[in-house]
Structure 1
Amino acid sequence: MEHQQSGSSEGTSEMGRTQTPLICGLPDDIALSCLARIPRKYHAALRCVSKKWRDLVGSEEWYSYRRKHNLDETWIYALCQDKCDQIHCYVLDPSSSRKSWKLIQGIPPRILKRKGMGIEVLGKKIYLLGGCGWCEDASDEVYCYDASTNCWSQAASLSIARCYFACEVLDNKIYAIGGLGSNLSDPNSWDTYDSHTNSWKSHSDPNLVPEIEDSVVFDGKIYIRCGASSISSHVYAIVYGPLNGSWQHADAVMASGWQGPAVVIDGRLYVLDQSSGTRLMMWRKESKEWVVVKRLCQFLTQPPCRLVAVGKRIFVIGKGLSTVMFDVDENMNIGGMMVGSSISKLTSPDCDVISCKLITL
């Protein structure tokens, strides 16, 4: 009997430990409602309070609750390469009163020197895909960074090893498109990744070419800007529609004016043309023409630049992570140069920006 009582006491003690409330004296649903309203910049501190708080901040429940109640915040992530060809990842909180880029630690050593990697965001994770090195052919490896836990891990490998390829997200799936690699068995192929099954599926289409210069999701379709081919010297674009599952040639006028990084705001396509100065272009699909929105001051931008959009604000991110931001709607009504604010670049100005992505958490 004494032995049974002892076991019962241990079970009760264990149950008590597992049912420890998030905040003493509050039901967990109320505690979640309180904690989820704490700004994202303090989430790292929340993870240090207790194991239960750490697990909560990294959970799908936390992610879903903040998204459902419009509490989530968008941060910008930039993948860069320094003059020694080493990869670095930085993050920027665009809503902070003291905006500055911060270095993310822990990039897996295997990919620190890789070039031609794809980078894409799915949910709260950044995926770094494929790539190659001076003494390494194209890789099929995929690594991901969970922004909610600040941890790196390895994900399912690509169906085919790739480098210098396009990456986009459409219908909650990652598309790894085209690319190069001596072992690339099908250069007219692309892979799709399903996070629910943690697996890739391979596809093929003769209209897809391996030489890809840029990509963007626009009007629910993936657009790819291709380089000059052996048949034609002009730049052209192809488009993928999920309904028919095939690639077709895009509008020739649209392709001719797509001369730089692109971003979509409220269904409108913007391109940063850096071929002659720096100017922001907009595609008018109704009249099928490119129009100049505004020119950017050449002293503020450090080409080559990348673009991201947070709400109505466009962030132009250049060499050394020099950053200029402006509101598209406000600048539409102002003549002359773009009006905006800037963020100081890194102390190492030789850092080139490979890609910029957003995570809303």
Structure 2
Amino acid sequence: MSESCNSRHFSWLMKSCLPNPSDAKSLVPIHHHANPPATVTPISSLPDDLLLECLSRVPSSSIPSLTAVCRRWSRLLLSPYFLHLRRRLGLLRHSLFAISAVDSGLFAAVLQIQSEVPSWRVSLAVCNDGDQGSLSHARAAAIGPRVYVVSRNAVLRYDSWTGTVAVRSPMIFPRKKFAIAVVSGKIYVAGGGGGSEVTAAVEEYDPERNRWEVVTHAARKRYGCIGAAVDGVFYVIGGLKIGNETSVTSRGTAAHVYASSMDLFDVRSRQWLRSRSVPGGGCVVAACAAVGHVYVLSSHAVELSFWRFDARRGGGGGFGEWTRLKSPPLPAQVRLDGTVRFSCVGVEDKVAVVQVVGCIDDLLRRSGRSERGLRESLVLLYDTVDGEWRRAADLPEMITRAACACVEW
């Protein structure tokens, strides 16, 4: 058969597509539906994985209303996979978080340091689920947008998305002035104690099961220590080393005497690594992790020193090296005495040093200075890229004795 097309064949094709007026069957009207019926599938009928893909793309401002839709949605929004999806989509922002307890609940403040004009956003969260316990020596640890405020006999979970507070299971061993850090979505605490007892037990908290368990015991008991975590290693830094002693004879001494050493616990292998010490001695008063390093702030009675420990174990050859950095530029009116406390928080490629005056009235009375020009707390930011310090917005006045952390929301 020829593959060519002539006019006669084309005419026959066109005629075959036109209706024949003499054929009654060809005149049967054809009904066209403007809106053909379609099967509607509600979003609630989607399986969990597809529903999470949809929910993970909503703006942060809409998340509080989503949690109120139903229990299933609330459960999915609390899942680690939801955070993983938002993190992969670049929808999570890192911010400096500070929280303090008052009689009516918790004051929470968030500072987005990436903003052109960073300012604190303050909110009050009321806890209606029971006694919040004493939070005067509480530590804070954040997993995504949720901050766990851990004190001697109580644990509260603050959700920075919804502004709600929930009571969680307390630690097995009541303790204060302990080290805390987050490794792979779980919270680890070490050191500290209560009364005359200092514990060597290292506890792990699983937020999904709301359960604490002892995973190991430290070789050295520490009171007043600080925690950090990098590359699966839990760093227990500073504090009063107790050794084989089981009691602290002087609470005043225990509260203010710090060591310059740190113990390293590999969470995955459940093994303790070789201990490290900060060069130059001094008392470690604050520490945190940022961009693969541990940053340590040490006090030498009349000055502060700032150090960086290379905690990367990826084979680069720098693991364990110490580098001295530029010290934070504290205002002249700040004295390094027992009334001043420091916190370090890693926020992406920045290190925030938060200075808090424990009792400003006592400080003014002893120093003989007026209250004018003296803030109860200030925030300094260290840029790990250019190595420079700058001052950020001071903590709001209602945030006192703050526990600080870095949140993703």
Specify if TM > 0.5: yes
Report the CA distance shift for 1:90/1:348 in structure 2 as closer, same or farther (over 3 A). Answer: closer
Report the CA distance shift for 1:199/1:91 in structure 2 as closer, same or farther (over 3 A). Answer: same
Distance 1:207 1:30 in 2: 45
Distance 1:211 1:51 in 2: 45
Equivalent pair of 1:178/1:188 in contact (CA under 8 Å): yes
1:180-227 CA deviation, whole Å, 9 max, x = no partner?
13597x822122122333322224426141524212223431121331
1:225-270 CA deviation, whole Å, 9 max, x = no partner?
3314368998233221234424455124569467231222322222
Report the CA distance shift for 1:301/1:342 in structure 2 as closer, same or farther (over 3 A). Answer: farther
Equivalent position SS for 1:271: strand
Q: State the partner residue of 2:150.
A: 129
Report the number of matched residues.
317
Equivalent position SS for 1:250: strand
Q: State the partner residue of 1:352.
A: 401
Query: Which amino acid in the other structure matches residue 352 of structure 1?
Result: R
Equivalent pair of 1:144/1:153 in contact (CA under 8 Å): yes
1:173 partnered with 2:186: yes
Q: State the partner residue of 2:229.
A: 217
* RMSD over equivalenced CA pairs, Å: 4.1
Q: State the partner residue of 2:203.
A: 191
1:273 partnered with 2:298: yes
Equivalent position SS for 2:85: helix
Q: State the partner residue of 1:78.
A: 98
Equivalent position SS for 2:396: coil
Equivalent position SS for 2:174: coil
Distance 1:244 1:59 in 2: 28
Equivalent pair of 2:180/2:226 in contact (CA under 8 Å): no
Equivalent pair of 1:237/1:249 in contact (CA under 8 Å): no
**Offset at residue 309 of structure 1 (A):** 2.0
What are the equivalent positions in structure 2 for 1:290-301 lying under 5 Å apart?
290-299=322-331
Q: State the partner residue of 1:5.
A: none
1:81-118 CA deviation, whole Å, 9 max, x = no partner?
68x9x964322232343412413322467236433334
Distance 1:287 1:59 in 2: 35
What are the equivalent positions in structure 2 for 1:35-54 lying under 5 Å apart?
36=58, 38=59, 40=60, 42-43=61-62, 47=65, 51=69
Equivalent pair of 2:106/2:126 in contact (CA under 8 Å): no
Equivalent position SS for 1:229: strand
Q: State the partner residue of 2:31.
A: none
1:255-311 CA deviation, whole Å, 9 max, x = no partner?
946723122232222222343334432235749664332133222896532121222
**Offset at residue 119 of structure 1 (A):** 2.5
**Offset at residue 343 of structure 1 (A):** 0.7
Report the CA distance shift for 1:253/1:63 in structure 2 as closer, same or farther (over 3 A). Answer: closer
Q: State the partner residue of 1:134.
A: none
Q: State the partner residue of 1:110.
A: 131
Equivalent pair of 2:111/2:118 in contact (CA under 8 Å): no
Unaligned runs of 5+ residues in structure 2 are 1-39, 45-49, 246-256, 312-317, 335-339, 357-375
Aligned mate of 1:158, from 148, 160, 171: 171
Report the CA distance shift for 1:220/1:183 in structure 2 as closer, same or farther (over 3 A). Answer: same
**Offset at residue 168 of structure 1 (A):** 1.6
Equivalent pair of 1:223/1:237 in contact (CA under 8 Å): yes
Q: State the partner residue of 2:345.
A: 308
1:282 partnered with 2:308: yes
Structure possessing the higher radius of gyration over alpha carbons: 2
Equivalent pair of 1:237/1:250 in contact (CA under 8 Å): yes
TM-score of the pair, normalised by structure 1: 0.70
Distance 1:222 1:240 in 2: 5
**Offset at residue 314 of structure 1 (A):** 1.9
Query: Which amino acid in the other structure matches residue 298 of structure 1?
Result: L
Q: Percent identity of the aligned residues?
A: 16
Report the CA distance shift for 1:150/1:58 in structure 2 as closer, same or farther (over 3 A). Answer: farther
Equivalent position SS for 2:141: strand
Query: Which amino acid in the other structure matches residue 47 of structure 1?
Result: S
